[in-house]
């Protein structure tokens, strides 16, 4: 059985994008325009192509604009919304969306990064390992901006290193996660919580694995990296929207 058919996707789309204000001032960063398409559309395309049936967008800053832009569907996918009234952080926003999620497996994506990945292969590895949580990892030439992730030979996640701690090549968190519902439900409710800083480090040793990919990675968090998106995505991808 294809496990993605029984998986709900969640995109964390509530960020303000304060570092992008000089180039994207009138909308949230997930709606930043690339070849006349919102960045969010490329993430939704990836999920739709993988056969995901339903996606929940966790919104916050300018939530109305996100809902108006995306609407109730994208391709064959149904789109639902979970709006945070006060900033809850990446984990808090995910926890608040749980009443809208009925599946046992949840595919979570950051709304400001994109990584080329075979989601079916990631889901298969998650199943084979009987993982509670699987984090997509990609290798970059310099980990200083992102922080470094270490795994053992079996893929078990061993440690996280803070941004700026070490440079040079290494594995980083690519912002895509397959999580089991029972683990997500252990996240504290109704307060700001960070997946990256609080939750994932606490899950080491509790069935947290890394899944490596050689696919290209893009983070649009800064004006320079946002400008790279025009090359990362082809104009033809925008034209087919």
Out of 23-37, 87-101, 169-183, pick the least confident: 23-37
Instruction: Using the structure block, give the residue that is written with the tokens 């696919």.
Output: 215
Task: Please tell me the predicted confidence (pLDDT) of residue 211.
Answer: 98
Mean pLDDT throughout 175-198?
Answer: 96
Indicate the SS3 state at residue 151: strand
Task: Please tell me the predicted confidence (pLDDT) of residue 3.
Answer: 72
Task: Please tell me the predicted confidence (pLDDT) of residue 163.
Answer: 78
Mean pLDDT throughout 8-25?
Answer: 81
Q: Is the pLDDT reported for residue 152 higher than 60? A: yes
- Catalytic residue numbers? 163
pLDDT category, 22, cuts 50, 70, 90?
low
Mean pLDDT throughout 121-140?
Answer: 96
Q: Is the pLDDT reported for residue 70 higher than 70? A: yes
Task: Kindly tell me the burial class for residue 127, based on how many C-beta atoms sit within 10 Å of its own C-beta (0-12, 13-18, 19 or more).
Answer: middle
Q: Is the pLDDT reported for residue 140 higher than 50? A: yes
pLDDT digits (tens, 9 = 90+) for 155-181: 999 999 887 777 889 999 999 999 999
The chain-wide mean pLDDT, for the chain, equals: 92
Domain extents for the chain?
Answer: 3-235
Task: Please tell me the predicted confidence (pLDDT) of residue 235.
Answer: 79
Instruction: Supply φ then ψ for residue 86, to 5 degrees.
Output: -130, 150
What is the rounded end-to-end Cα distance, in angstroms, of the chain? 30
* CATH code of the domain occupying 3-235: 3.90.550.10
Task: Please tell me the predicted confidence (pLDDT) of residue 241.
Answer: 44
Q: Is the pLDDT reported for residue 210 higher than 70? A: yes
Contacts of 29 (CB under 8 A, 6+ apart): 15, 16, 17, 20, 39, 111, 112, 220, 221
pLDDT category, 237, cuts 50, 70, 90?
low
Q: Is the pLDDT reported for residue 50 higher than 60? A: yes
Task: Kindly tell me the burial class for residue 149, based on how many C-beta atoms sit within 10 Å of its own C-beta (0-12, 13-18, 19 or more).
Answer: buried
pTM for the predicted model, two decimal places: 0.94
């Amino acid at each position: 059985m294809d496990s993605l058919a029984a998986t709900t996707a969640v995109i964390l789309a509530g960020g303000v994008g304060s570092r992008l204000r000089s180039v994207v001032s009138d909308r949230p960063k997930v709606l930043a325009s690339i070849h006349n398409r919102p960045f969010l559309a490329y993430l939704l395309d990836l999920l739709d192509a993988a056969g995901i049936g339903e996606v929940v967008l966790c919104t916050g800053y300018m939530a109305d604009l996100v809902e108006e832009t995306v609407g109730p569907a994208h391709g064959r996918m149904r789109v639902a919304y979970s709006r945070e009234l006060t900033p809850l952080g990446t984990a808090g926003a995910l926890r608040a969306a749980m009443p809208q999620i009925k599946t046992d497996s949840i595919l979570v994506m950051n709304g400001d990064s994109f990584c080329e990945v075979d989601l079916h292969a990631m889901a298969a590895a998650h199943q084979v390992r009987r993982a509670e949580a699987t984090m997509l990892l990609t290798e970059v030439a310099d980990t200083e901006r992102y922080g470094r992730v270490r795994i053992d030979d079996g893929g078990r996640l061993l440690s996280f290193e803070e941004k700026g701690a070490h440079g040079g090549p290494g594995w980083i968190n690519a912002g895509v996660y397959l999580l089991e519902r029972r683990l997500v439900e252990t996240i504290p409710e109704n307060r700001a919580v960070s997946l990256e800083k609080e939750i994932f480090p606490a899950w080491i040793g509790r069935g947290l694995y890394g899944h490596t990919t050689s696919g290209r990675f893009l983070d649009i968090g800064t004006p320079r990296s946002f400008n790279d998106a025009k090359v990362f995505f082809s104009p033809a991808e925008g034209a087919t929207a």
